[in-house]
């Protein structure tokens, strides 16, 4: 998150930060994000929330189960999720940001 915010600020790109863990926008935005990048790109399998899930909640993981898990546990979603028009970027990659935003 810090790198993405710094990159946006350094390049003079205005943005609105929404803490989707607190504001409850996941249910309304998740279908769009899922369609744009797919559920596998959205799931953060390295985070503490994922590791704390019981194995039976993680396996087998398909789109439906992944969406349910992300709605129930928004911290499972990789951050940041950046939307610009129909483009959705997940995670921070300077080259991706430059290609889409610059």
Q: Is residue 34 part of a domain?
A: yes
Query: How many other C-beta atoms lie within 10 A of the C-beta of residue 13?
Result: 13
Rounded Cα distance between 89 and 41, Å, is 10
What are the pLDDT digits (tens) for 46-91? 999 999 999 999 888 999 999 999 999 999 999 999 999 889 999 9
State percent of the chain over pLDDT 90.
Answer: 76
| Residue 47, domain member (yes or no) | yes
User: What range defines the domain where residue 95 resides?
Assistant: 2-7+23-101
How far is 17 from 37, CA to CA, in rounded Å? 20
**Structural domain count of the chain:** 1
Q: Residue 51, CB half-sphere, CA atoms under 13 Å: how many?
A: 3
Residue 23 confidence (pLDDT): 79
76 belongs to a structural domain: yes
Question: Does any domain span residue 85?
Answer: yes
Confidence of residue 18 (pLDDT cuts 50, 70, 90): confident
pLDDT at residue 19 is higher than 90: no
Determine the pLDDT at residue 22: 78
Residue 42 and residue 66 in contact, taking contact as beta carbons nearer than 8 Å: yes
CATH number, domain containing residue 68: 3.40.30.10
Q: How far apart are CA 70 and CA 84, in angstroms?
A: 21
């Amino acid at each position: 998150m810090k790198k993405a915010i710094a990159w946006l600020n350094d390049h003079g790109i205005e943005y609105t930060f929404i803490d989707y863990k607190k504001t409850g926008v996941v249910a309304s935005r998740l279908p769009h994000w899922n369609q744009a990048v797919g559920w596998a790109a959205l799931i953060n399998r390295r985070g503490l929330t994922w590791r704390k899930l019981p194995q039976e909640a993680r396996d087998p993981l398909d789109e439906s189960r992944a969406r349910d898990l992300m709605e129930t546990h928004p911290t499972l979603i990789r951050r940041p999720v950046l939307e610009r028009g129909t483009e959705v970027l997940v995670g921070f990659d300077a080259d991706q940001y430059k290609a889409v935003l610059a």
